[in-house]
Amino acid sequence: MLQEHFRTFARFNQWANRESYGAVENLPTAEIHKTRPAAYFGSIHGTLNHILVVDRLWFGRMAGIDPGIDRLDLILYQDFPTLRDARQAEDRRIVDLVEGWDEAAMAGNRDYKDIKGNPWTLPIRRMLATVFNHQTHHRGQVHALLKEAGVEPPALDLPVFLFAEKWK
């Protein structure tokens, strides 16, 4: 049951990112990079970069490797097309990883250190919940920033995905 839940969320995450990035593509480059007071990470581009940074951080932890990320505001890619391509590749990787984990793997604990060096231990299932919750949180911010920029944001509710993908 848990396995199917996270597989669905991995695919939902991929779809929601594709929809969000598709809406951002309608903006001029200056609007994507424009500093906006409501943006936690400065701009739409900065917020999308942050989501990717945190995905790499958490999936590195799940794999037991240090991804070398020491800041949450790190800009991995300066231009939107490269960021979009990296997001698509990361989403394919996430779906593949989650598809490959069984219930026992998801229940397994991982020791890791946060970016300040503090030690933690969590089961992979809790790490996955953190990643997908984090994505939803910041995609919601991008959603609002898109509206502020004059672009109608896409509907990103889980039922929209389920019916769009014919997954009931």
Q: How confident is the model at residue 162 (pLDDT cuts 50, 70, 90)?
A: very high
Farthest CA pair distance, the chain: 47
- What pLDDT score was predicted for residue 108? 94
**Mean of pLDDT values over 137-158:** 96
Number of separate domains in the chain: 1
Q: Residue 137 and residue 153: Cα distance in Å, rounded?
A: 15
**pTM for the complete prediction?**
0.95
Q: Is the pLDDT of residue 166 over 80?
A: no
Cβ 48 vs Cβ 21: under 8 Å: yes
129-146 average pLDDT score: 97
Amino acid at 78: Q
Per-residue pLDDT of 77-136, as tens digits, reads 999 999 999 999 999 999 999 999 999 999 999 999 999 999 999 999 999 999 999 999
Q: What domain range includes position 15?
A: 2-164
pLDDT of residue 1: 81
Element (H, E) at 125: helix 124-148
The pLDDT assigned to 164 comes to 86
User: Average pLDDT, stretch 37-41?
Assistant: 93
Give strand pairing partners of 112. 120
- Residue 158's domain is classified under what CATH number? 1.20.120.450
Q: Is the pLDDT of residue 18 over 70?
A: yes
> How confident is the model over 58-70, as pLDDT tens digits?
999 999 998 899 9
Kindly indicate the confidence band of residue 167, based on its pLDDT and cuts at 50, 70 and 90: low
